[in-house]
């Protein structure tokens, strides 16, 4: 029979193989299949396939009791279709740590057990000529002792809870689910938030990257054996095989941290929605502010707004675009707050400063001769352009007037700490990054003793709610790319999270080059902000009114790349609503030019057009 197999590789569609019926396969089974000259692990997604070409036989079957439930399989299918990724990547997150490495596979034979890694190239395929081999893990999973959970009672599919102080609401919702014999998944944007909720909700089980392998293994097996509890984490927590999931909570649901997970194409908040949809699980989204989607309203959403009516005062301080260094007005604002006894939080985007070369006579920075961007000075007495990768020895003098160039430090935690210490004293300043938040209570105690706290976005943690009398946000435009369609929404969301760290009567000061931008003009004024933002998104068919994808083409020749981009634009501009066509860089990167087509369409029409099968291309889901 023909089977569809999803591999944990960058393959958008399952591959088809041949397997004997007596192998006992079912959707969710794991098999070893040939891929080129390799033998790789895959997941059986279906027991049939429309493919009619030449087929290869599977090499082996994994003998293990664990089969993902129907809800997890559907979750993997939905995510794979939305992101043009392999369902195998998602299903690998459902495994315990001991079974994620194929090197742990064993093959029983006449001469004893053999590891998969000990089989020479092509040997596994030769041994499977008479039938698929039977592999097993040294540490197999136990058979699930529980029966399929009954369907959940009718309830609102999605509920938004806006406002600070959500701890009691979460505890009550978790207690209600546990009383019904069901488990809870609490999704958080970072590990610091997970540590906070572990200290607030009794009995919560953390399940994320900072937890040791042995502890994650134990947690996985406890829930596999039918434990009902509360698990907190990211994508691994979403894939945990719970006996009876009864509630999915997405904390800080409007946080931009969900969209900046490194090394993965997935947006965690969107995956949480797909997990709830696939399993029929009620979803509770807690946040400090609306998103565009929640403000626009949805038929399945219930809104519970518990935010105080009085918002902090906001003052925008304009900065000049070409200026570098630390503005004197910023230091003066911190000094005034220090003298008035107002505990101040200062948010910046850098830990270590960037060094520029500045000509005092011209009043300008040394510029890149290739693209005009500001050059940064490295420690090896050279300069580099971060925009076009230009690199050269540091110039002896100003290219315009010939006078000496002086080093100038940009704003960072390190440089700002030294500048503020000169006006407030060395013991008055606390530098806070994600490393310090590994112990939330120690970080909170240190912050309470420090008049000035300089931090990255890691300080926007529930542990610091209502702690500060004033906050200073330095260059919001440096936290996000202002070319992104949702930069304004992300700035607005971060502004609301900063406001949550302020006590009653607190003040928020923003120092920005983009002081005229509507994201800052309406920073804590939701109604005019979202009305303007949603009008803009309707015009250009942006989320939440349309999905958004980027098709990246790669070619070694700029002329042939341009021809391919023009042909795709002419063919699909109307049906797939191609809004932008541009070069990612006019300079080749590793000998390759890259061009982008921005598509505003659902994944169905894109798949029907076959754009995910173009060679030397990458199709990315941006949002929607």
Residue 384 lies in a domain: no
Q: Is 354 exposed, middle or buried (0-12, 13-18, 19+ CB in 10 A)?
A: middle
Give the residue from 88, 107, 137 where a domain finishes.
Answer: 137
- pLDDT score at 536: 92
CA pair distance 389, 407, nearest whole angstrom: 20
Q: Please give the pLDDT value at position 314.
A: 94
Strand, helix or coil for residue 609? coil
Q: Is residue 323 part of a domain?
A: yes
Q: Are 39 and 121 part of one and the same domain? A: yes
Residue 388 carries which DSSP code?
T
CATH at residue 596:
3.30.70
Does any domain span residue 198? Answer: yes
User: Does one domain contain both 176 and 239?
Assistant: yes
117 and 32 share a domain? yes
Q: Are residues 20 and 129 in the same domain?
A: yes
- When pLDDT is averaged across residues 145-166 and rounded to a whole number, the result is 73
pLDDT band at 38 (very low <50, low <70, confident <90, very high): confident
**Pairing state of beta strands 301-305 and 158-162?**
parallel
Q: Which residue, 617, 612, 614, 616, is CA-closest to 83?
A: 612
Q: Is residue 134 a contact partner of residue 32, using CB atoms and an 8 Å limit? A: no
Q: What are phi and psi of 610, to 5 degrees?
A: 75, 20
Query: What is residue 299's predicted lDDT score, i.e. its pLDDT?
Result: 47
98/16 same-domain check: yes
Residues 455 and 487 in one domain: yes
177/150: higher pLDDT: 177
Q: Could you give the number of structural domains in the chain?
A: 4
| pLDDT value of position 459 | 87
Residues 188 and 291 in one domain: yes
Cα(590)–Cα(580) distance, integer angstroms: 24
Q: How far apart are CA 96 and CA 119, in angstroms?
A: 24
CA count, 13 A, side-chain hemisphere, 215: 9
Res 231: pLDDT? 97
CB burial readout 254-281, b (16+ within 10 A) else e: bbbbbbebeeeebbbbbbbbbbbbbbeb
User: What's 481's domain CATH number?
Assistant: 3.40.50.300
- Kindly report the CATH number assigned to the domain that includes residue 43: 3.40.1440.60
Q: Are residues 456 and 559 in the same domain?
A: no
Evaluate if residue 506 carries a pLDDT over 90.
yes
Cα torsion at 165, 171, 176, 180 (round to 10°)?
Answer: 150
Mean pLDDT of the region 45-68: 89
Tens of pLDDT, residues 456-484: 888 898 889 999 999 999 999 888 888 88
Angstrom distance (rounded) from CA 284 to CA 490: 21
Residue 286 has pLDDT above 50, yes or no: yes
- Which residue do the tokens 């315990």 mark? 96
300 shares its domain with 318: no
Domain assignment present for residue 515? The answer is: yes
- Domain containing residue 561: 548-623
Same domain flag for 175 and 257? yes
Give the pLDDT confidence of 347-399 residue by residue, as tens digits: 998 887 677 777 877 777 777 877 777 777 776 678 888 777 778 887 778 87
Residue keyed to tokens 């935010």: 307
Provide the pLDDT for residue 152. 63
pTM of full prediction above 0.85: yes
């Amino acid at each position: 029979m023909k089977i569809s197999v999803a591999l944990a590789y960058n393959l958008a569609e399952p591959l088809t193989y041949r397997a004997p019926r007596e192998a006992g396969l079912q959707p969710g089974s794991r098999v070893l299949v040939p891929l080129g000259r390799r033998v790789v692990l895959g997941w059986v997604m279906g027991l049939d396939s429309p493919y009619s070409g030449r087929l290869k036989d599977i090499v082996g079957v994994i003998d293990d009791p664990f089969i993902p439930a129907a809800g997890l399989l559907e979750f993997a299918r939905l995510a794979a279709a939305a992101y043009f990724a392999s369902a195998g990547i998602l299903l690998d997150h459902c495994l315990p740590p001991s079974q994620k490495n194929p090197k742990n596979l064993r093959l029983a034979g006449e001469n004893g057990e053999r590891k998969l890694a000990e089989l020479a190239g092509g040997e596994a395929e030769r041994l499977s000529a008479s039938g698929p081999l039977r592999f097993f893990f040294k540490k197999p999973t136990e058979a699930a002792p529980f029966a399929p959970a009954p369907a959940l009672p009718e309830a609102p599919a999605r509920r938004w809870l806006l406002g600070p102080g959500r701890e009691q609401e979460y505890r009550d919702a978790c207690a209600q689910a546990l009383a019904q014999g069901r488990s809870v998944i609490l999704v958080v944007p970072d590990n610091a938030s997970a540590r906070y909720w572990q200290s607030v909700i009794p009995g919560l089980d953390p399940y994320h990257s900072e937890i040791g392998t042995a502890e994650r293994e134990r947690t996985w097996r406890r829930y596999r054996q039918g434990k009902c509890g509360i698990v907190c984490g990211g994508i691994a927590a979403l894939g945990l095989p719970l006996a009876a999931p009864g509630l999915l909570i997405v904390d800080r649901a409007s946080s931009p941290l969900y969209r900046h997970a490194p090394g993965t194409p997935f947006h965690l908040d969107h995956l949480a929605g797909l997990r709830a949809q696939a399993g029929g699980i009620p979803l509770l989204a807690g946040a400090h502010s609306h998103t565009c989607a929640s403000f626009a309203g949805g038929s399945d959403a219930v809104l519970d707004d518990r935010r105080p009516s009085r918002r902090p005062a906001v003052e925008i301080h304009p900065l000049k675009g070409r200026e570098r260094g630390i503005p004197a007005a910023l230091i003066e604002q911190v000094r005034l707050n220090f003298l008035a006894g107002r505990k101040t939080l200062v948010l910046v985007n850098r830990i270590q400063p960037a060094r520029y070369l500045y000509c005092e006579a011209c009043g300008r920075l040394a510029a890149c001769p290739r693209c005009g961007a500001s050059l940064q000075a490295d420690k090896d007495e050279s300069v580099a352009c971060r925009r076009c990768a230009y690199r050269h020895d540091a110039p002896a003098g100003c290219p315009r007037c010939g006078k000496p160039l002086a080093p100038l430090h940009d704003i960072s935690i390190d440089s700002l700490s030294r500048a503020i210490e000169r006006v407030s004293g060395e013991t008055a300043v606390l530098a806070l990054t994600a490393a310090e938040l590994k112990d939330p209570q120690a970080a909170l105690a240190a912050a309470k003793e420090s008049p000035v706290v300089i931090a990255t976005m890691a300080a926007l943690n529930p542990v610091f709610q209502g702690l500060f009398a004033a906050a200073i946000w330095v260059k919001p435009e440096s936290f996000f790319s202002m070319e992104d369609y949702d930069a304004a929404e992300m700035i607005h969301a971060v502004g609301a999270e900063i406001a949550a760290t302020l006590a009653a009567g607190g003040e928020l000061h923003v120092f920005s080059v983009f002081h005229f931008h509507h994201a800052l003009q309406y920073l804590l004024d939701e109604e005019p902000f979202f009305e303007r933002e949603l009008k803009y998104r309707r015009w250009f068919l942006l989320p939440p009114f349309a999905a958004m994808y980027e098709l990246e083409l790669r070619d070694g020749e700029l002329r042939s790349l341009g021809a391919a981009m023009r042909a795709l634009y002419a063919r699909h501009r109307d049906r797939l609503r191609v809004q932008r066509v541009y070069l990612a860089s006019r300079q080749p990167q590793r000998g390759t030019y890259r061009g982008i087509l921005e598509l505003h369409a659902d994944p169905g029409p894109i798949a029907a057009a076959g754009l995910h099968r173009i060679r030397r291309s990458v199709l990315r889901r941006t949002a929607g």
